């Protein structure tokens, strides 16, 4: 399981250090792509293959085609360099507005990479609603 919040910086060449705690779980090769909410998603290869299997089962509708175009066109196979960094392509850094400070969060089966400004805004916009969100999702079956 990928979890936690990590603060790192991306350099002018698009290199971002991934915390050593989670490198092992990603494996030698992994996928970085456009995510939802203007962040990037990072998937271990096995999880990526599960997603692709599910996508192949989608009907050939306009919504499915558009989402696959968005999600798959930015997808890149990545590996760590000797310093534990990944190189994020220019289109992906622009999409997520990654400039200097980045937040890397673990979200169970994948990582998300956020610009610090967008992450801070997300937290502020959602923190008052989290109790209601939890109630709606779990309907008091879990004590969180």
For the chain, give every domain's residue range: 2-116
Confidence bin at 138 (pLDDT 50/70/90): confident
Q: In the prediction, which pLDDT does 137 show?
A: 79
**What are the tens digits of pLDDT across the range 50-104?**
999 999 999 999 999 999 999 999 999 999 999 999 999 999 999 999 999 999 9
Regarding pTM above 0.85, the answer is yes
The values of phi and psi at residue 14, to 5°, are 85, 20
Superfamily of domain 2-116, CATH level 4: Transcriptional regulator MraZ domain (3.40.1550.20)
Whether 142 shows a pLDDT value over 80: the answer reads no
């Amino acid at each position: 399981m990928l979890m936690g919040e990590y603060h790192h910086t991306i350099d002018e060449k698009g290199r971002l250090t991934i915390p050593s705690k989670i490198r092992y779980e990603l494996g030698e090769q992994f996928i970085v792509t456009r995510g939802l909410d203007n962040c990037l998603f990072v998937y271990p290869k096995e999880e990526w293959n599960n997603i692709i299997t599910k996508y192949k089962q989608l009907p050939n509708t306009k919504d499915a085609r558009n989402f696959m175009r968005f999600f798959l066109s930015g997808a890149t196979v990545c590996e760590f360099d000797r310093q534990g960094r990944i190189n994020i392509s220019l289109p992906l850094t622009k999409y997520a507005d990654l400039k200097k400070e980045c937040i890397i969060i673990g979200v169970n089966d994948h990582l998300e990479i956020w610009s610090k400004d967008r992450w801070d805004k997300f937290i502020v916009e959602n923190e008052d609603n989290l109790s209601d969100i939890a109630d709606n999702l779990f309907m008091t079956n879990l004590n969180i």
